[in-house]
Amino acid sequence: MNIEYKPRFSFEISEEQRLRANKCFPTYGLRKAIFGKILDDVCELIETHGGIAIGIMMTERIKIRDILPTMRDVTEVTKKIKKGKDNG
């Protein structure tokens, strides 16, 4: 593997999204800092909750800003259910 290789995560965006992103993230490295954290959280939610997390995030009825608090609630409920099974 080339020592200079840096993995990338990319996807297509609209021209409007590109213009907004350029305006919102004028500082070099800011996109990576913010979206790297978001990517880590989303991956963790999917690893923990599987298809439920994907389904919730893909629904058009919920805004992305509402997903993480909702998933936090799912995590708490899941913990309570597991704890109840363990105490049994």
| CA 40 – CA 55 distance, rounded (Å) | 18
Structure confidence by residue, pLDDT tens digits, 68-85: 777 677 777 777 877 887
Q: Rounded to whole angstroms, what are the CA distances from 88 to 36, 43, 72, 77, 81?
A: 39, 31, 24, 16, 10
Give the amino acid at 48: T
Tokens of 75: 């995590």
Residue of 12 and 64 predicted with greater confidence = 12
Domain residue extents for the chain: 15-87
Is the confidence at residue 87, as pLDDT, over 80? no
Percent of the chain having pLDDT more than 90? 32
> Considering the entire predicted model, what is its pTM?
0.66
| CA 37 – CA 10 distance, rounded (Å) | 15
Give the amino acid at 82: K
